[in-house]
Amino acid sequence: MNILNVSQQTSYDNSIESFEYHSYKPYVTSFNKNDEIRIPINQQDLYVLTSLSSLYIEGKVNVYNSTTKEKVSNVHFINNPVLFLFQDIRYELNGVEIDKIKNAGFAEDYEKIIINCKHELVLLRSNTNLNAIKLNTESDLYEYPLLPKTRKHSWSIKTSLQIEKPRFVVIALQTNRKHNAKLSMAEFDHCHARDVRVFLNSSYYPYEGLNVSFSEDKFTLLYDQYARFQQSYHGRRSEPLMMGLKEFRDVAPLFVIDCSRQHETLKGSIDVRVEIETDQDIPDQTTAYCLILNDCIFEYKPLSNIVKKIS
């Protein structure tokens, strides 16, 4: 719409006559630990808009004291608990894996219909439910289970292909939260981190060190990186941020590194490495997580029913 054209006639989009939601259930009725749950859409004559799909889960939570065998009443869900019930979730189109989330969003950035395809959502149950709850008395995601007790650590993560160059890298630290029902698995710890730098071969991001100090409440630059991510990656400029400064510091102090602007000499295989520097020794039982958002291109031909990954 041209805001200067005051004589423009009113127009209506009637190209879509109806819009319906359909529910689909999994093949199996067993949802125990380590079970694979497949939810198929076999009707290939449907026009499916996956960006508006949702996953509905219901159930009951029963927790018992391991010593007295009595039922525990003071049980609370952590933030987004359902995803922690699954080891990974993947989306397949005509048997081709399109997306996969490890250790638990989904298909939200493809806003066109898909036809002549078999859709299947595959969920693999976790081997424990502890990471989804907290008691009052816990897409590529990479994990470094136990960081050494040091103030500077280098972590070689992966080697990427040219077509899968990282665009954003998110680093988070967590101390003694996994499989610990007394602490929320959905929260992270700053561990007095001062700098996090991402290396793509010899190129590094950010160019200057952040010199963060959580003990002195000096983490504004880190919060600014988090705020800019919502604008640059999701294109959301007017929507409010999910976390304020205090919640960011106490709940999810994330290091969001923008490496989307890369020199043309960065070609071929790309070695991804992360350097973590802290003001104090990294605590025992600390795990590092690295989420890499990279280009992933698929070719989809509706008329020929072909889906393939371009590599």
pLDDT in tens, 166-199: 889 999 999 998 888 788 888 999 999 999 999 9
* C-alpha–C-alpha distance, residues 94 and 309, integer Å: 12
3-state secondary structure of 87: strand
Sequential DSSP letters for 168-231: EEEEEEEES-TT-TTS-TT----TTEEEEEEEETTEEESSS----BGGGTB-HHHHHHHHHHHH
Closest residue by Cα to residue 35 from 93, 87, 100? 87
Delineate the domains of the chain, giving CATH numbers in brackets: 36-135 (no CATH), 141-294 (2.70.9.10)
Question: What is the rounded average pLDDT of the residues 61-67?
Answer: 76
33/152: higher pLDDT: 152
Confidence category of residue 138, pLDDT binned at 50, 70, 90: very low
Question: What is the rounded average pLDDT of the residues 64-75?
Answer: 76
Q: Is residue 296 within 8 Å of 97, Cβ to Cβ? A: no
Residue 200 above 80 pLDDT? Answer: yes
Q: Is residue 147 within 8 Å of 290, Cβ to Cβ? A: no
Q: Would you state the pLDDT for residue 139?
A: 60
* C-alpha–C-alpha distance, residues 171 and 229, integer Å: 13
Q: Is residue 256 within 8 Å of 229, Cβ to Cβ? A: yes
Record the pTM.
0.62
* C-alpha–C-alpha distance, residues 302 and 261, integer Å: 33
Q: Which amino acid is at 104?
A: A
Residue 101 above 90 pLDDT? Answer: no
The count of C-alpha atoms lying within 13 angstroms of the C-alpha of 117, restricted to the half-sphere facing its C-beta, is 24
First to last CA, the chain: 39
- Strands annotated E in 129-269: 133-135, 141-144, 152-160, 166-175, 193-200, 203-205, 255-258
Q: Which of 49-58, 105-114, 127-136 has the highest mean pLDDT?
A: 49-58
DSSP state of 86: E
pLDDT in tens, 213-224: 999 999 988 998
User: For all residues of the chain together, what is the average pLDDT?
Assistant: 82
* C-alpha–C-alpha distance, residues 287 and 291, integer Å: 13
Q: Would you state the pLDDT for residue 135?
A: 45
Which of 82-96, 146-160, 224-238, 263-277 has the least mean pLDDT? 224-238
84/211: higher pLDDT: 211
Residue 273 above 90 pLDDT? Answer: yes
**Cα–Cα distances in Å, from 192 out to 113, 238, 246, 282?**
46, 32, 15, 8
